Amino acid sequence: MIESASFVIVAAMSTKGARIKEVRDKLQLTQEGFARLLGGITRGAVGNWERDQGIKEENLELISARTGISYEWLATGRGSMDPNDIVQPAAKSASSGSVRIPDLNIFGGLGGGGALAIVQGNDGLPLDPDDLRGYWTFPEYLVRAFGSLSGIYAWEVRGDSMEPTLAGGSVVFVDTRQNKLPPNDIYAIDYGDGLMVKRLKLVPRSDLVSVISDNDRYAPDNLPRDDVQVFGRVIGWFQWRG
């Protein structure tokens, strides 16, 4: 778990390139991942910026718009940078005392046939900026236990294999930092049929993991651990009750 940090004061004498790298480091992104976050930017351009080369005003405006970081801080170094102000992947909203979690324009299947419409870069984050369909906004106190919300995303799930725990049409909140095989929990995974949400349980004294549907109509699959790609742990979900 990444602990939240106090306000970080950066002296005005730091360079624009150093401040851009500071933002990227707080987001825990590679240069390639940061370029993808900004959209239409190459990894090479990010590398040049961090060397203080080729930084234009519109570049700083783009970074500010995509991350929520103060344009003044990026341009001049004046003021402070609060990691909790980062909009992507999570941020304080314009409404004081609340935070936002990105809702991705993808879906994960609860049963077979879930389409894998997710972009995963070398940074390990399943995010394409063009696939963002909105934000979920929560009171700050409700998510305070998670510290930094970097790496937490929401998306829709479809199917019936995880009923009654998860109904089709539910929205799951996935912590992509928790992407190791677990003892027994619900995870966003892919084991050959696309993005799915399943319960995983390690099979003792073996190299297998059991992929479990909470719906008793579906039998579990015991698979080699290396065959199961874990995107992140489901830390919560939302669904309407009829």
Domain presence at residue 12: yes
CATH code, 19:
1.10.260.40
Q: Please indicate, yes or no, whether residues 112 and 171 belong to a single structural domain of this protein.
A: yes
pLDDT in tens, 103-132: 887 776 665 444 444 444 443 344 455 667
pLDDT at 211: 94
pLDDT per position as a tens digit, 153-186: 888 888 899 999 998 889 999 888 888 876 689 9
Domain boundary among 41, 67, 85: 85
**To the nearest whole percent, how much of the chain has pLDDT over 70?**
73
Asked whether residue 98 falls in the same domain as residue 59, the answer is no
Q: Which residue, among 177, 224, 174, 217, has the nearest Cα to 196 in the 3D structure?
A: 174
**pLDDT tens column, 189-219:** 988 878 889 999 999 889 999 999 999 999 9
Residue 129's pLDDT is what? 57
Residue 80 sits in the same domain as residue 99: no
- 105 and 55 fall within a common domain: no
Residue 190 in domain = yes
Residue 149 sits in the same domain as residue 210: yes
Same domain, 130 and 211: yes
Helix pair 31-38, 57-67: axis angle to 10 deg:
90
Per-residue pLDDT, 190: 87
- Domain annotation covers residue 2: no
Domains contained in the chain, number: 2
Q: Which domain holds residue 96?
A: 91-238
| Residue 16 near residue 55 (C-beta atoms within 8 A) | yes
CATH of residue 118? 2.10.109.10
